[in-house]
Every structure is written in structure tokens, then in C-alpha cells.
Amino acid sequence: MNNRKILKYHSIAGLIAGIFLVLMGISGSILVFQQDIEDHQWKEYLEIENYSGLNIDRGIQEIQRDYPGWDTRLMHFEENEALIFNLRKPTERLFVFVHPSTGEIIKEINELTTFTRWLLKFHYSFQAGPAGRVLVFIIGVLFLFSLLTGIYLYRKSVLKTLTCSTRLNLKTRRTFYSSLHRIVGTWALLFNLVLVVTGVFLAWTVAAAGLNPPAIAETPVVKAPVNDLLMEIAENYSNFNPTYIRLPFNEQGTLTVYGLFNDDAFYYSEFYNKINADYQSGEITGVTRIQEADLKTKLSSTLIPLHFGQYGGIWTKLLYCITGLSGPFLSITGFLIWRQGKQVKKLKRKKYFHYL
């Protein structure tokens, strides 16, 4: 297949996916800072008075009394800060802030109306339900195809571009857009490949899950002392750092503590290590480590951290933010190249008929 045909397919894929890539790129670049934004938004609820020790059990009792029948997760349990519970039903989600010592409910927030969570849902479904999830997957595949064909088309100039041996071609608008498109695409190539490959697999997972109706939680009353369980974990698994606690979904479920081991690779998700315990007695019933999982599970564990840049500090986030904006930039310059090409062809046709 010659370059002309590949360029044609490259252009078609980019034009079809263009407007959606702009929306996904901008939303993704903002979501890199999701945790930072939420920390700022929730600061007034996290700061508490009259702290007398972390009493998670009292908080769980209060939540289960006031919110029965919710799928319940404890997503924040730091010293001197409010507990944050994430409560879920098929069509509802709440954040509930609870005093860490008294169990008093401080604030209830509808998760679906918060800026970052609305934006996250927009990023993976365009707020369009199951159809939107499938569309995001299709756009991801088109973007991946566009990247791969772009690699083939510019394969001979990659090294020159990376060594700054090429310059912007200012001869015409079209050559300017084309050289700009090539330079930005080459420099952002590696990160864009990481973003699009992880994004495609995540989109497939989300789309598949959206086709199945969500189950309704039948969360039983937790009688196990969670504070004691965390102390036991700290004593027996000293290299494990708990980050997230999920209450049993039904009577057959377990009390699950998620987290990271000190020797885990930086790109592993916190939700693939877990310590299960009986929700009645608190007895530990099993330990799952991502390091002992099969290759498929290990790869799955890397998707979210690598896609959203969760493994680094502010400089990593800034790099992800800038790279995330390169996708919309490539879509816009690609469109401009296509439009300039159409205008050039139109002008040539006019000249041809003029000389007839």
C-alpha cells in the first residue's frame, strides 16, 4: 500500500474522530488534576474540630444506620481529617463526610453533580449512557489507527524531528500546518501511545460493564471492629498501606481492605491488592497480591495509573496535561491541513477551467 492511500485513511480516521478527540483531550487534561481539585473543593469538609482519635467503627455504624441498602466504600480515613464514604446505588452516588471521632455526619454531596466526577463520566461516555461508552471506545480505536498510520507516514523524519533537525515550513499555510502537525505528533508520540492504548482497554471495560444492568446492593450490618482489623494488618503486614475499604455487597461478601505494598511497582493500581476479612468477626480470610497475579491481571492493574498519570507528582501531571492537549491540537491541525488541501484543489480546478 502506497503512502497516498495510507495518508487518505490517516486523514479520514482523524477527521471522524477529531471533534470527539478535542473533547476527550481537554477533559482528560483536567482530570489529571482530579485529586488536587477535589482536595481543594473538599477542604472545608475535611478539616474537623474536637478530634479525639480515629474511630472508623463509629463512622461505619452511623452510615449503615442512616444509609441502609447502599453499596458502601470508605475512601478516605486519615488522622485529623473527616472520613469520606462513597455510597452507591444503580442510579445514585453520594459522598458523605463523617467526623472521624464522633461519627457525626458533616456533609452529604451528590457525586454526580460535582465538577470532577461529572467530567470523568463525560470523559468515558460523553454523558450519553451505554451508547456514549461504545462511542468512546470507537473513537479510541480510530485515534490508535491514526497514530499508527502517522508513525508509518513520518517514519523517515522521526529521528530528525527528535534531534531538532527539521524546521517549520513557512512557505504556505498548508506546509506550516503540516510541519507543525508532524513536530508535535512526533514529540508527543510515546505518551499518546500510552494514553490511547490504555484508554482503548479502559473504554472496552467500561462499555462492556455498561451493557449489563448493575446489581442492587444488599449490604449487611458490619459487626467486625474495623479499627482492630487495621491494627492487625499493620502488625502482620507491615509493608501494606491500606487506602480503601469496601463493605460487603451482600451477605456472601467480605470486608475488603485495598492498598499498596511498599515493594509494588509504581504503575500498579491500589485496587489489585486486597485483604479480605469476615464482616462479622474481623478474621482475615485471604490476601491477594498483584505481584503474584498472572500477566493479564498485572497489565490490567496498570491501565488507570498509566492513563491518568497517577504514579507521579506535579511534574508528571503537567507532562500528562500537556500531552493530553496534543491530541486536540493534532485534530485541529489535521483538519486545517485537510481544508487547505481542499482549497488548493479547488483553486487548481478553477485555473484549469479558466484556461479551457
Q: For 294-340, what is each residue's pLDDT tens digit? A: 999 999 999 999 999 888 888 899 989 998 898 888 888 888 787 77
Per-residue pLDDT at 349: 56
Work out the pLDDT band at 344, boundaries 50, 70, 90: low
List residues bridging with 240 in a β-sheet: 261
Per-residue pLDDT at 174: 77
This prediction's pTM: 0.85
For residue 83, report the phi and psi dihedrals to the nearest 5 degrees.
-75, 140
d(CA 151, CA 10): 10
Q: Is the pLDDT assigned to residue 342 strictly greater than 70?
A: no
> What angle, rounded to 10 degrees, do the helices at 115-125 and 189-210 form?
90
Report the run of H or E that residue 258 belongs to, with start and end: strand 255-261
d(CA 327, CA 126): 17
Q: Which three-class secondary structure state does DSSP give residue 233?
A: helix
pLDDT, tens digit, 9 for 90 and up, residues 261-299: 999 999 999 999 999 999 999 999 999 999 999 999 999
Domain boundaries in the chain? 3-33+119-208+317-347
Among candidate residues 296, 250, 288, 251, the one with its CA nearest the CA of residue 270: 288
For strands 71-76 and 240-246, give the pairing.
antiparallel
Q: Is the pLDDT assigned to residue 84 strictly greater than 90?
A: yes
Q: For 188, left (φ over 0), alpha (ψ -120 to 50), or beta?
A: alpha
The arithmetic mean of pLDDT across residues 8-21, rounded, is 84
Find the largest Cα–Cα distance for the chain: 93
pLDDT, tens digit, 9 for 90 and up, residues 93-115: 999 999 999 999 999 999 989 99
